[in-house]
Structure 1
Amino acid sequence: MASPAFVLLHGAWHSPRCWSRLVPELEKAGYTTVAPSLPSSGSTPPTRDWAGDVEVIRRTVSQLVMERGVVVVMHSFSGMTGGTALEGLDKQSCLAKGLRGGVVRLIYVVAFLVPEGFQHSPHGTRDQMVPEMKTDLERGTVTVLPEDAKDMFYQDVDDETVVELVKDLRPQSIGAFWSTTEHAAWRVIPTTYILTLKDKPSTVAATRYLIDTAKASGPHKIDSVIEVDTGHSPFISQPEWTTETFLEEVNRTPVAA
């Protein structure tokens, strides 16, 4: 079977352009990459929920697993949509359907590793949102101001690059934060978690809690937790390290061969 393809899922407020430093590294190593645009970020008008994200993820992965293995990489917010979109797309389920591929590994990059039935914020509220998340309930959006972006996303990125990165930030649908997960793909698909230690201290603490809670919640396939001394977006600040780590994780996944 051909080398697995990487499906790269961007987080809230971002677009596929956030992967622009990582994609060339993965492709140079001989891997196909697909980075879909998730509609809850930047759609006008804002989406009512994250159903469009789930549909895009599921359609993208379903096309690939017909012929090859897939590694799904989720950053931050997309851990929720990615985790819920992959039901029945794991390798074993795909083989049972007569397909040649399947999702062989999940890589959560400081992403929401959450169980079934998880909701970030109760409907109609901004509960659980940090002060940097500016909500507009009338417009149905959550935004992050340019002056807050470095502290939120790019702690170890130089200021000149941050100026360029914030130009691509867009409003996020608040309805996506009110949506509820229906599946936890990490229970059935081998899973790597990358924990970024230079992130916001509150995010580091929350991340450790999510990992520990997931492991204690029942069956799971979280077989690798990697701590790295970077900020929230290591694929921007350390693309070579990120590529090397991703490939190491793929290479130790037997069904990816």
Structure 2
Amino acid sequence: MSKPVFVLLHGAGHTPRCWDRLVEELAKAGYESVAPALPSSGSTPPTPGWSTDVEVILNTVTNLVGKEHDIVVVMHSFSGLTGGTALDGLDKESRASKNLGGGVVRLIYVVAFLVPKGFQHSPHVQVGIVTVRPEDAKSMFYQELDDGIIAELVKDLQPQSFGAFWSKTTHAAWRHIPTIYIICEADRPTTVAAAQYLVDSAKAPGVSHKIDNLIKVDAGHSPFISKSWWTASILIEEANKSV
């Protein structure tokens, strides 16, 4: 049986290069990964919503499952919104019901938005971009990394289209696909509390979900950079549960 392919979805203000360390670790273990560039990060002019992000994710995963690959989708931070929306009908079970091979077999949320269908941050759409100042990058994204490494990472940060934050989810993939959530306990305290709230809400009595594992790690917002070997080992372990 072939190994699953990892689709890595970066967060706001980042590019696929943020995954470089993790991609290297996965490759060492013989796993292929694909990290698409999501247009709401770095687009000029800024995108008015997240529809182009969803389209890129949809096309990326559709292409892979069309080749009958099993897919594990890894979402970081903001991309939990777009990833959770884009995967409608691409899960393994849905495709098998149509006598189609391949499909998404597992979701891995890394301190990412895990929200229900119809979620909207605010109905009052704002346009333009939001940027992270280099001096704020450590507290926001790279809490436990050395300043020299951060100085290189901030060179790759992009302006984020502000309008993408106000789009509305149309699907909740975690209700249909086996899901793990990773909480990074050295992240900002407010982010840690928010992540725990999202998980608790999704697992509340009467809520249909497929969240079957919660892992807490002593890491900041980007463990795939600070703890790339650990992250790769967790991803591989979780992927193998669903293949």
Cα-to-partner distance string for 1:115-142 (whole Å, 9 max, x where unaligned)? 01111233235xxxxxxxxxxx5xx111
Provide the residue aligned with 1:68 in structure 2.
69
Provide the residue aligned with 1:47 in structure 2.
47
Provide the residue aligned with 2:135 in structure 1.
147
Matched, 1:240 2:229: yes
Is the partner of 1:240 in helix, strand or coil?
helix
Q: How does 1:163-242 map to 2 (within 5 A)?
A: 163-216=151-204, 218-242=207-231
Question: Contact conserved, 1:7 with 1:70, CA < 8 A, in 2?
Answer: yes
Q: Which amino acid aligns with 2:179?
A: T
Find the aligned partners of 1:156 and 1:94 in 2 and give their Cα distance: 41
Provide the residue aligned with 2:118 in structure 1.
117
Question: Contact conserved, 1:94 with 1:100, CA < 8 A, in 2?
Answer: yes
Find the aligned partners of 1:142 and 1:249 in 2 and give their Cα distance: 34
Find the aligned partners of 1:120 and 1:228 in 2 and give their Cα distance: 27
Find the aligned partners of 1:90 and 1:5 in 2 and give their Cα distance: 14
Find the aligned partners of 1:174 and 1:222 in 2 and give their Cα distance: 29
Find the aligned partners of 1:28 and 1:121 in 2 and give their Cα distance: 42
Gapped runs of 5+ residues in structure 2? none
Find the aligned partners of 1:77 and 1:4 in 2 and give their Cα distance: 24
Shift of residue 98, structure 1, vs aligned partner: 2.7
Cα-to-partner distance string for 1:64-118 (whole Å, 9 max, x where unaligned)? 1121100000000000000000000000111123321000000000000100111
Provide the residue aligned with 1:89 in structure 2.
90
Question: Contact conserved, 1:49 with 1:178, CA < 8 A, in 2?
Answer: yes
Provide the residue aligned with 2:103 in structure 1.
102
Find the aligned partners of 1:75 and 1:124 in 2 and give their Cα distance: 23
Cα-to-partner distance string for 1:172-221 (whole Å, 9 max, x where unaligned)? 11110110101000001000000000000000001110000011161100
Provide the residue aligned with 2:31 in structure 1.
31
Is the partner of 1:65 in helix, strand or coil?
helix
Runs of 4+ in 1 over 4 A off after TM superposition: none
Find the aligned partners of 1:179 and 1:123 in 2 and give their Cα distance: 10
Find the aligned partners of 1:124 and 1:64 in 2 and give their Cα distance: 33
Q: Which amino acid aligns with 1:32?
A: E
Find the aligned partners of 1:29 and 1:98 in 2 and give their Cα distance: 31
Q: Which amino acid aligns with 1:75?
A: H
Q: Which amino acid aligns with 1:206?
A: A
Find the aligned partners of 2:171 and 2:84 in 1 and give their Cα distance: 6
Cα-to-partner distance string for 1:29-59 (whole Å, 9 max, x where unaligned)? 1111000000000000000100000000000
Is the partner of 1:21 in helix, strand or coil?
helix
Find the aligned partners of 2:88 and 2:211 in 1 and give their Cα distance: 17
Is the partner of 1:48 in helix, strand or coil?
coil
Matched, 1:251 2:236: no
Provide the residue aligned with 1:132 in structure 2.
none
In terms of mean alpha carbon deviation, does 242-251 or 231-240 score higher?
A: 242-251
In terms of mean alpha carbon deviation, does 67-76 or 210-219 score higher?
A: 210-219
Find the aligned partners of 1:60 and 1:97 in 2 and give their Cα distance: 20
Is the partner of 1:202 in helix, strand or coil?
helix
Provide the residue aligned with 1:57 in structure 2.
57
Flag the 1:124–1:68 CA change in 2: closer, same or farther, 3 A: closer
Find the aligned partners of 1:55 and 1:247 in 2 and give their Cα distance: 26
How many residues get paired? 241
Q: Which amino acid aligns with 1:107?
A: I
Q: What TM-score, normalized to structure 1? A: 0.92
